[in-house]
Amino acid sequence: MRALIGMGLGMLLLHGSVAGAAENGVIRVGSKSFTESYILAEIAAQVIERVGEARAERRHGLGGTGITYRAIASGAIDLYPEYTGTLARIILKDSALHTPEAIRARLLASGLTMSEPLGFSNTYALAVRAETAERRGLRRISDLARHPELKAAFSSGFLEREDGWPGLTRHYGLALREVRVMEHALTYRAIVSGDVDLMDVFSTDGQLERLRLQILQDDKRFFPDYSAVLLARRDMAERFPRTWARLREAFEGALDDQRMAKLNAMADLDGKSVAEVAAAFLGTASPDPRRPPGVLSEISALTLDHLVLVLISLAAAVVLGIPMGIAAARFRRTGQIELGVIGMLQTVPALALLVFMIPLFGIGKGPALVALSLYALLPVVRSTYAGLIAIDGHLLDIAFVLGLGRLKRLVRIELPLASISIMAGIKTAAVMTVGTATLAAFIGGGGYGTLIVRGLALDDTATILAGAAPAAVMAVAFHVAFELLDRLAVPRGLRR
């Protein structure tokens, strides 16, 4: 046990804090976790590298708007691709902001700035099979009013959002007979096979052309404008003026819908790496002609990463959790409150807990470690508490009669007697943390989740499995390792 904790602390020191103020000469580029955002961020990173004013640090695939925006607002990243519609509606919460100038003016107060639009708008759109469009004469969304028999399948977000289906039906006066909610990736297959006629897509979706899908024209202008822009911290733009100017030059007005859709398709459908797609856009050779590091070497790097996440957070949970369990067992009444609070922590979904960490600790390993430690706390505290209160009161009375003081009693009698229970809790925490740690990637914490997030973004099952399978293996390995550790931690007289 002592060795384990020592190892964990050692790694913590080695790794150091990851979040923090912008370092000299580094521009940290973030992205959301979908293909387009990865590609734009990678292009930006390559531009930064070519200017040479600063080093580019890639923090791709951070997650959704909530995470990326908090990351840039707190200074954990310096730059990421965003959309005007999202900035106005979700971040600034003012749908009256229409022009880039108006949005930029409002961002000033937060220390942020943004580029001019890149040229394409990734907005919601409705798509049908080209063949259906031709046969039924569908070109515009208002044409749908004449075809209530069309079968629609929408992603749950689109079906619920006011700027999605509910608003759209009112705006156009539509009434379709069959509307269902379906996982987006599956809907593509369903529309190609003819089981579904109508689906929601993004206008720059790389798959539209290959699958022979056609976007219906938004003739009554319902969907808001989601023009892509680069969102950046002003201090970065001021410190690296050449880089910022070059970024704007490379991006502004350079990408129309078709061009972006083609880049997306290269990554999604042709299996090109994001780095290759970015290089293709910039008209340079692929940065690494040998192909980016092979999957195996990446997995081994991520294994170390994942191991660090698990061991440090587990060590922290043990170091904190055992004393907390002891306290709960000693002071029963306040102990109940303590256990209640820790239990409540557990009801916060892991991803939400990670997101809450961003304003406090930024992004990366730091906040991930804090969140994972908090998550691993409950099994350790509970098992320590349960192990201690289950001890026969007689044995404790005898300890008093034998002259053992409180501390001696705890160390020599109570903790060893509770060791089976405590170890069970630590084992649970360990296996659980291996799984939960895959979520760390959503806030740039690394680990196997990096592959899972990327696989989800690129809709690539093999990549998802490349992250999920090693995580499962590691969970089993932890289980086995702890069974062996039991031999050290549980006294011989208690073993079965």
Partner 1 sequence: MIALREVTKRFGDRVALDAVSLDVRPASTHVLLGSSGSGKSTVLRLILGLIEADAGEVQVDGTPVTPSTRAQLVRHMGYVVQDGGLYPHLTAHRNVTLPTEAHGWDPSRAGPRVTELGTMVGLDEETLRLYPRELSGGQRQRVGLMRALVLDPPVLLLDEPLGALDPIVRAELQGQLGRLFAALGKTVVLVTHDIREAALLGSTITLMHAGRVVQQGTFADLLERPAAPFVTQFLTAQTLGAGASRAR
Sheet with 55-59: strands ordered across: 55-59, 26-30, 79-83, 228-233, 112-114
Considering beta carbons, is residue 487 or 492 the nearer one to partner 1? 492
The minimum distance between CB 408 and partner 1, in angstroms, equals: 6
Q: Which residue stretch of 54-62, 346-354, 402-410, 480-488 sits at the interface with partner 1 (rule: CB under 8 A)?
A: 402-410
Q: Which of 192, 351, 404, 489 binds partner 1 (CB under 8 A)?
A: 404
Residue from 98, 249, 405, 473 touching partner 1 (CB under 8 A): that is 405
280 versus 386: smaller Cβ distance to partner 1: 386
Binding status of residue 407 toward partner 1 by CB under 8 A: no
Among 160, 162, 270, 397, binds partner 1 (CB under 8 A): 397
Can you give the chain as a three-state secondary structure string? CHHHHHHHHHHHHHHCCCCCCCCCCEEEEECCCCHHHHHHHHHHHHHHHHHCCCEEEEECCCCCHHHHHHHHHCCCCCEEEEEHHHHHHHHCCCCCCCCHHHHHHHHHHHCEEECCCCCCECCEEEEEEHHHHHHHCCCEHHHHHHCCCCEEEECHHHHHCCCCHHHHHHHHCCCCCEEEECCHHHHHHHHHHCCCCEEEEECCCCHHHHCCEEECECCCCCCCCCEEEEEEEHHHHHHCHHHHHHHHHHHCCCCCHHHHHHHHHHHHCCCCCHHHHHHHHHCCCCCCCCCCCCHHHHHHHHHHHHHHHHHHHHHHHHHHHHHHHHHHHHCHHHHHHHHHHHHHHHHCCHHHHHHHHHHHHCCCHHHHHHHHHHHHHHHHHHHHHHHHHCCCHHHHHHHHHCCCCHHHHHHHHHHHHHHHHHHHHHHHHHHHHHHHHHHHHHHCCCCCHHHHHHHHHHCCHHHHHHHHHHHHHHHHHHHHHHHHHHHHHCCHHHCC
Interface positions, 457-496, toward partner 1 (CB under 8 A):
491-494
CB of 380 to partner 1, least distance (A): 20
CB of residue 489 vs partner 1: minimum separation in angstroms? 11
Nearest-approach distance from CB 492 to partner 1, in angstroms: 7
Q: Which of 88-96, 343-351, 392-400, 437-445 is the region at the interface with partner 1 (rule: CB under 8 A)?
A: 392-400
Residues 6+ apart with CB under 8 A from 249: none
Binder of partner 1 out of 108, 344, 402, 411 (CB under 8 A): 402
For partner 1, which is the closer residue by CB, 331 or 400?
A: 400
**What CA–CA distance (Å, rounded) separates 351 from 64?**
11
**Residue 416 touching partner 1 (CB under 8 A):** yes
Within 10 angstroms of residue 27's Cβ, the number of other Cβ atoms is: 28
Q: Which amino acid is at 404?
A: L
| 304, 337, 398, 472: residue in contact with partner 1 (rule CB under 8 A) | 398
Output the smallest distance, CB 401 to partner 1, in A: 4
Structure tokens at 207: 């798959």
| Tokens 């060590």 belong to residue | 315
- Residue 359 binding partner 1, by CB under 8 A: no
Q: Please report whether residue 390 would count as binding partner 1 according to CB under 8 A.
A: no
Binding test (CB under 8 A) with partner 1, winner from 108, 301, 390, 395 = 395
Q: Determine which residue in the list 13, 296, 401, 484 makes contact with partner 1, applying CB under 8 A.
A: 401
* # binding residues, partner 1 (CB under 8 A): 20
Q: Minimum Å distance from CB 111 to partner 1?
A: 59
Report the residue from 2, 296, 403, 487 that binds partner 1 according to the rule CB under 8 A. 403
Q: Tell me the window of 63-71, 139-147, 183-191, 410-418 that interacts with partner 1 (CB under 8 A).
A: 410-418
* Interface segment toward partner 1; rule CB under 8 A; list 74-82, 196-204, 378-386, 413-421: 413-421
Which CB, 47 or 420, lies closer to partner 1?
Answer: 420
The yes or no reply on residue 413 touching partner 1 (CB under 8 A) is yes
- Minimum Å gap between C-beta 387 and partner 1 is 12
> What is the closest distance, in whole angstroms, from the C-beta atom of residue 3 to partner 1 in the complex?
21
Kindly state the smallest distance separating residue 322's Cβ from partner 1, in Å. Answer: 17
Q: Which two structure tokens, joined as six digits, stand for 279?
A: 């290089």
> CB 384 → partner 1: shortest distance, Å?
16
Instruction: Determine which residue in the list 185, 340, 408, 411 makes contact with partner 1, applying CB under 8 A.
Output: 408
Question: Which residues here bind partner 1, judged by CB under 8 A?
Answer: 394-395, 397-398, 400-405, 408, 412-413, 416-417, 419, 491-494
